[in-house]
Structure 1
Amino acid sequence: MNKVGLAIIGSTGIIGRVHIDAMRGLDTCRLVGIHARRQEPLRQQAEELGTRMYPTLDDALADDDVDAIVIATPHPSHMDITTRAAAAGKHVLAEKPLGVTPSEAEAQISACRDSGVKLGVLFNNRFRPEALKVRQLIDDGAIGDIYRSEMSSAMLRTQDYYDRLDWRGRWDAEGGGALLNQGIHGIDMYQWLAGMPQTVFGKVSTLKHSIEVEDYATALLGYAGGGHGVIHCNTAQAPNQQRIALWGERGAIFMDDWRVTLRTLETPVQQFIDADKTIAFVSPSDTEAAFDFEPVSGGTHRPAIDDFARAIIEDREPAVAGEDALRSQELVAAITMSGCCNEQVHLPINRVEYDALLARLRRARRLPG
C-alpha cells in the first residue's frame, strides 16, 4: 500500500475541514471522498475538492478505494460509525472523545480488534513539540519519580456556544461537559505524562451556564506509593489556561500555556530532607531551563493523521490507539461518578454503575444537589 485512502465523515463541519486541510500534501494518505448529513453543502464541498461525494455512510463504507475513515462528527455518533466501519473492514481514526462512556469506548475497541482494523483517536496535542519534549524529559529521568502532579484546563464557552447546537450541554446527548468535551484534551495529556491514579475524589458543578452538564470540575487523585494529583477543568473561567505541572525527586517540569520549563535540583528531595539541618524556609538549590519550539507546520492534526496512515502501512498501533483514549474516558467518568455520589471511587470504575448513573442524570436533566 503506497497511500492510505481516506474518507472524511462529517466533512462539512469545522473539524472536518481541519482534517481535509491537514492531509494536503501528505505522502502517506489521500482523500478519496467525503460524507456529511447535509447534502447540498456536501455536494458543493465535493465539487470544490474534486473528490467523491457519499450521500450515506454506507456508500463510503462500500467504496473499495476507502481504506480508512476519519470521524469528524460529534462524539455521540462515534460508536455507531466506528462499529459499522469495523464491520466493513475499514480502519478508523476518530476525533476525541471516543464515545460518551467507557462502555462505548470499549465497544469500539473490541469491534476494531475483532475485525482486525486499526483504531486511532485524535488527541493531536500529543504531537506538539512541547508535549513531546516533556515526555522525553520524563523518560530520560530528568525529574526522577513523579510524586505530585497537577493539570488545569480552562476553556471559556459562551451560553450561545451551548444554545447553538441542541446536542450540547445535555446529558442525553453530549453526556458530559467541561470534562468530556473540552477538558479531555488536557486529561489525556495529563495521564500520558503522569500516569493513571488508583483513586479519584471529584467535585462537579454547573456554575455559570444554563446547561444540564458540568461546567466546573475538580478532582484529587491518589497514586500507588502515596503520590497525589489534581485535575481541574472548566468552561467558566477567564482568562483561559492550559497548565500541567509535575514534581519529582530530582526537580519539576512546568508546561504553562505550552511554555515548557525544567527546574533541576542540585540535591534530590529525599536526600536533602534527610541531611539538611536548616529548620524552615529551605529548599535545595536548582537550575532553570526554558525551551523554545517551532510551531508545527500545518497544525498538529497533520502529524496525527500521518502517524495513523503510517500505522496502517507499517501494520503497527497508532501513537494514540483506542486503549490510550479509554484512559482519559475512564478518568472523566470517575470524576463525574465521584462528584455525583460524593465519594471516592477506585479505578477502573464499575461500568454498569456508571451507565446507571448516566441514565439517572438523563432523567433528572441536571447534576445532583
Structure 2
Amino acid sequence: MGDENVKFVIIGSGNIANTYGDALQKVQNAELVGVVSSSMKKISKYSHLPSFPSISEVTVDFDAIIICTPNGLHHHSAIEAAALKKHVLCEKPIDITVEAIDQMIDACKANEVKLGVAYQRRYSSDNPAIKKLINENKLGRIFSVDLAVKNYRDDAYYESAPYRGTYDIDGGGPFIQQACHYIDLYYWYFGKPIKLVSALSTFVHDIEVEDHGAVICLHKSGMIGTITASTATKPGFPAKLELYSDKGYVILENDVITHWEMDGVENPTSATASDNKHTGSSNALVNDTTNHETILNDFVESIQTGKDPLITGESAKNATEMILEIYNGQF
C-alpha cells in the first residue's frame, strides 16, 4: 500500500471502541472511516462517522477492521472480514475457544490478510526489558513468580450488558476478561506450565462465572508460579508481578519496576516508566492510549510492508489455551 492511509472500520460501539478511536487519531497513515454496530449505536466521540449494521453492508472504502465486540463473538467478525480481503486487528482475548481461534487464523491465512491481536502489555513500560533479560538468562534461575490481577467491578458493570459474567459470550470471569493481558504476559515470559491446579469461585456478584480465583503453575524448569485474578477485591489494586531468582527479586506494578534487587544486573527501568499512572483496577475505561498506539502503528506497518504484526493470532492463542486449562484444572 505504500504510504497511503490504512482505512479502518471499528466493529462494536462499547467503551473500548472509543479508546481505539482516540488512538487512531495519533497514528500516522491511519484513518477511521466508519463503525459497524448491529444496534446502529454510534461511538460517542465519533458520532459524525457513518454506522452500518454489518461488515457486508459497509459502503465506504476500507482496508481493515478493529474488533471491539464481546469476547465470544470475535471470530464471526474476523472470518467475515477475511472473506472480504480485509485485515483484522482484534481486541483481547482473541476468542474464547481454540476452535474459534483456529477458524480465525485459517480464514486470514486463506485470504492473505493480516491478523493482529491487542495484547499490548507486552510492550508497556518495563515489560520488554524484563523479557529481554529473561531471554538472555540475565536474571539467573527464576524459581518463583507471583502474579496478582486484583480488580474490582461493581454490580452496575455486570448489569450493563446481558453478556457480562457469562460463559457463552464472555467466556468466563476475570481470568479471561480482566487478567488475560497479564496471563499473556506470563506465558510470553515463562512459557506454558507443564501442570496447573486452580481454585475458582463466585463471592460478591450474582453472575454465573468466577469473580475470584487462584492458580498454582509448575514449569519444566522447576519454577513455581501463582496467578490470582479477581473482580471482587475492593477497591481494586494495580496489577502486580513478583519475580524471585537465585540473584534476587523484581517487583512490577502496572508494568513499572517498583523494586529491584538483582546481583550484578542494573535496573533497566525506563526514564518514562514512572509516569505511567494508569491502574485500570476499578473500572473498565481505558483513557491512556499509548499502548494501543504501539499496536496500531505496528499493524499499519505490517499491512504496508507485509511483515507479521507484533502479536499474531498464533501467539495470542497461547493465552486463551492457558486460561482454558485454568478453567478445566480446578480441584
Pairwise same-fold verdict (TM > 0.5): yes
Q: What is the alpha-carbon distance in structure 2 between the residues aligned to residue 319 and residue 179 of structure 1?
A: 23
Aligned residues: 315
Deviates more, 1:305-314 or 1:97-106: 97-106
Task: Name the residue aligned to 2:281.
Answer: none
Q: Which runs of 5+ in 2 are unaligned?
A: 277-287
Q: What is the alpha-carbon distance in structure 2 between the residues aligned to residue 327 and residue 245 of structure 1?
A: 22
Letter in 1 for 2:42: P
CA contact (8 A) 1:28 1:310 kept: no
Does residue 202 in structure 1 map to residue 203 in structure 2? no
CA contact (8 A) 1:46 1:53 kept: no
Q: What is the alpha-carbon distance in structure 1 between the residues aligned to residue 154 and residue 17 of structure 2?
A: 22
Equivalent residues in 2 for 1:208-357 (5 A)? 208-238=204-234, 239-260=236-257, 261-265=259-263, 292-294=271-273, 295=275, 298-339=289-330, 342=331
Secondary structure of residue in 1 paired with 2:35: strand
Structure 1 length-normalised TM: 0.79
Of Structure 1 and Structure 2, the greater helix share is in 1
Q: What is the alpha-carbon distance in structure 2 between the residues aligned to residue 39 and residue 194 of structure 1?
A: 43
Does residue 160 in structure 1 map to residue 156 in structure 2? yes
CA offsets, 1:101-136, max 9 Å, x none? Answer: 222222211221222211111112223122223223
Letter in 1 for 2:18: R
Equivalent residues in 2 for 1:48-63 (5 A)? 48=48, 51-60=49-58
Which of 69, 90, 106 is 2:65 aligned to? Answer: 69
1:47–1:235 Cα change, 3 Å: closer
RMSD: 2.3
Q: What is the alpha-carbon distance in structure 1 between the residues aligned to residue 93 and residue 324 of structure 2?
A: 12
CA offsets, 1:207-232, max 9 Å, x none? Answer: 22111101112111111132211111
Letter in 1 for 2:328: M
The Cα shift of 1:298 comes to 4.2
The Cα shift of 1:149 comes to 1.7
1:287–1:110 Cα change, 3 Å: closer
Letter in 2 for 1:293: T
Task: Name the residue aligned to 1:22.
Answer: 23
Letter in 2 for 1:177: G
Task: Name the residue aligned to 1:351.
Answer: none
CA offsets, 1:298-354, max 9 Å, x none? Answer: 421111111111111121111111112111101110010011xx2xxxxxxxxxxxx
1:142–1:262 Cα change, 3 Å: farther
Task: Name the residue aligned to 2:282.
Answer: none
Letter in 1 for 2:52: Y
Structure 2 length-normalised TM: 0.87
1:40–1:255 Cα change, 3 Å: closer
CA contact (8 A) 1:262 1:290 kept: no
